[in-house]
A and B are shown apart, each in its own frame.
Chain A
């Protein structure tokens, strides 16, 4: 997937000026950079949630899994309903993605009864269940402790090995550990 000549402005502030990005299929790309530089904006543009830009996106799939910066769960749906609501045609079962994210016991719980880390894992399980061709994740692991990360991430990345995975993160160590490519957009105008 390639983004060409991307220009994005918020009022008078230029976020991207004729920038170009390339993401390799089947690889994990980490995007790093300081706050407010446009990392989340880039994900939103790729996901089609922000259409106010110029430039073109080539080779983008219609099926995109998006783990937002916040869990964004439906408060009236149980954990399993929050996952299954996204699609009726998943190759995985809800139980399988719940097991992968260590949440089997919370299957029937409502989000309000769970911790921040658990909610974020549900968001990850939801994205896995949806099985998008492109995986966008915005600081998905910041609410997880190291032990949980060690337990979940290898299994999740194994499931995502054929996907285009784009992860926004501040955590350089984590990026170095899991990324195939790291894009630093601290100087977006030069990308």
Chain B
């Protein structure tokens, strides 16, 4: 109950700041204090949001965007794991992938979107999401594999422990923390980059298309409403992800770490 009260207070505080910011902006610009179409008040945005909720296209676009981003994230994760595993096995492949990683890191998303726009219009946002998530998963899983205790590998070798048991008792417990860290960083990024790409190169039935249209029509109330939707979905997504990771990761976390977590909670 206390936690819910605290969260409500924090939300109300920031809504208050929002009101104040609109008020100051309107005064500064000499605009009406009761209605500002460029920087809308929270209640106008909430009304717009409820209006969006009543439309079927809102749900179709949101679900389509979610599915697209989820599929691309899964592809990027699988690709990242695969490349990390083979790169750790064959060093020359790691060298081979480096230029790709450097390119992804240094070239802005917008440039990729403009390049891909003409090549694979409908799949641009999916490809961008893969480009953003792949390097994070690859780098983390690769690091995890490289950090596997060589002494314990020798134990496996000396006792001829079968590969399946090695995976379960050595590889997974070492790599999983790196993998989870990669996923945690990727989720928010995948969402942001995917929607940004959709807005720049909007496929049918997408949140990006609505954001792009709202921008063209200078309908900032709708733009804010979509931004709020993105925040809400991202929060729900992160919450669900954390629960999922907690359940899946539990068996690889030593008991004393779990106990320490309990104490700190």
B154 cross-chain contacts in A, Cβ below 8 A: 49, 68, 72
Alpha-carbon distance between A26 and B161 when the two chains are bound, in angstroms: 25
7 pairs of residues in contact across A and B, judged by CB atoms under 8 Å: A62-B160, A64-B158, A66-B158, A74-B155, A75-B254, A110-B255, A126-B159
A68's partner among B155, B160, B254, B256 (CB-CB below 8 A) is: B155
B residues 159-200 in Cβ contact with A at 8 Å: 159-161, 165, 169-170, 173
A72 cross-chain contacts in B, Cβ below 8 A: 151-152, 154-155
Alpha-carbon distance between A112 and B254 when the two chains are bound, in angstroms: 9
Alpha-carbon distance between A130 and B254 when the two chains are bound, in angstroms: 25
A87 cross-chain contacts in B, Cβ below 8 A: 159
Interface membership of B252, Cβ < 8 A = yes
B159 contacts A77, CB within 8 Å?
no
Interface membership of B57, Cβ < 8 A = no
**Chain A interface bracket (under 10, 10 to 19, 20 to 34, 35 or more):** 20 to 34
A77 cross-chain contacts in B, Cβ below 8 A: 169
Alpha-carbon distance between A65 and B155 when the two chains are bound, in angstroms: 10
Interface membership of B157, Cβ < 8 A = yes
CB distance from B190 to the nearest CB of A (A): 29
Interface membership of A86, Cβ < 8 A = yes
How many chain B residues touch A (CB < 8 A): the figure is 17
Interface membership of A17, Cβ < 8 A = no
Alpha-carbon distance between A90 and B166 when the two chains are bound, in angstroms: 18
Interface membership of A96, Cβ < 8 A = no
A70 cross-chain contacts in B, Cβ below 8 A: 151
Alpha-carbon distance between A130 and B158 when the two chains are bound, in angstroms: 11
A113 cross-chain contacts in B, Cβ below 8 A: 256
Residue in B closest to A75 when the chains form the complex, CB atoms:
B254
